[in-house]
Amino acid sequence: MNSPPLPVRPRRTRTSPLAWASAAVLLFWLLAALLGPGLLSDSGSSMGDAAVFAPMSAAHWFGTDFLGRDVFARVVQGTRYTVGVALAATLLASGMGTLLALLAAASGRWVDALLSRAVDTLTSVPGKMFALIMVAAFGSAMPTLVVTAAVIYLPGAYRIARSLAVNIDAMDYVTVARTRGEGRLYIMLNEILPNIVGPMAADLGLRFVYVVLLLASLSFLGLGVQPPAADWGSLVRENIGALPLGSAAIIMPALAIASLTIAVNLLIDNLPGRSARGER
């Protein structure tokens, strides 16, 4: 007599140490944006008696900038602008793109075609050129930067969300929901949206990286956050004279941009679900 087969335990997916390290870096910058400016004794805007482009020391952890200001304080102050503006723009782009994609998938052919052609129109304009036009027309105020970055990256979020939503909309359980008389809003929010949240969360992380790099490039060109405020891109631009000296005043803001973007990318690539799929 054959013994019954033993139950198979589901294999647990372990979180990679690289994912934990990336999450720690990301958490550090988020806390720096939220709490850092309030914990600093030096706002970073006051000019002391320190030398211009002074090296790193106990008094100035990241050295001083072209006016003798503490670079560490300037980087922490700039975190609020870099992370805050990028996060707001990313949430707006992904949120609007997902909402339009749900509407396109649940509304039928004509609405889908109309929304897709409108989004394709935005895609036809190069992102950097659109940003330059918006900044030249409306200035570099924070709302302008947020809306500009959101409009640039909305088409990408829409296309990914639409491709996911259209596949879900063709499933049998969505057809059953329509058959029993459920409305369009119910199908969008209860049948399609829960099944695309995971992929769209990963896409949101990538959009965040793109927005950070876009805002940094605009600030480096002098079109982003304006003085006396500063984000990481403008800190690199205003200390460009320290490049031949290899001063920390230009290296540390650049490293801050690199550490944030690399941490987000590594965290997305090493999520437990993605790692498990890669091993199959």
Q: List the chain domain ranges.
A: 20-28+62-271
**Residue among 116, 129, 102 at smallest CA distance from 214:** 129
Backbone angles phi, psi at 66, to 5 degrees: -70, -10
Helix (H, G, I), strand (E, B) or coil at 218: helix
Helix and strand numbers, DSSP H then E, in the chain = 11, 0
pLDDT digits (tens, 9 = 90+) for 165-213: 989 988 888 888 888 888 888 888 888 898 898 888 888 988 999 999 9
Q: Cα(48)–Cα(69) distance, rounded to whole angstroms?
A: 7
CATH class of 20-28+62-271: mainly alpha
**Residue among 104, 247, 95, 207 at smallest CA distance from 163:** 104
* Banded pLDDT at 279 (limits 50, 70, 90): very low
With a cut of 50, say whether residue 141 has pLDDT above it: yes
pLDDT digits (tens, 9 = 90+) for 76-133: 888 989 999 999 999 999 999 999 999 988 887 888 889 888 888 888 888 888 988 8
Backbone angles phi, psi at 70, to 5 degrees: -70, 120
Residue with tokens 């909309």: 169
Whole-number pLDDT of residue 278: 45
Per residue, the 3-state secondary structure of 28-74, as one string, reads HHHHHHHHHHHHCCCCCCCCCCCCCCCCCCCCCCCCECCCCCEHHHH
Given a contact cutoff of 8 angstroms between Cβ atoms, the answer to whether 249 and 64 are in contact is yes
With a cut of 50, say whether residue 280 has pLDDT above it: no
Q: What is the CA radius of gyration of the chain?
A: 23
The secondary structure of residue 226, as a DSSP letter, is P
Q: Cα(2)–Cα(90) distance, rounded to whole angstroms?
A: 58
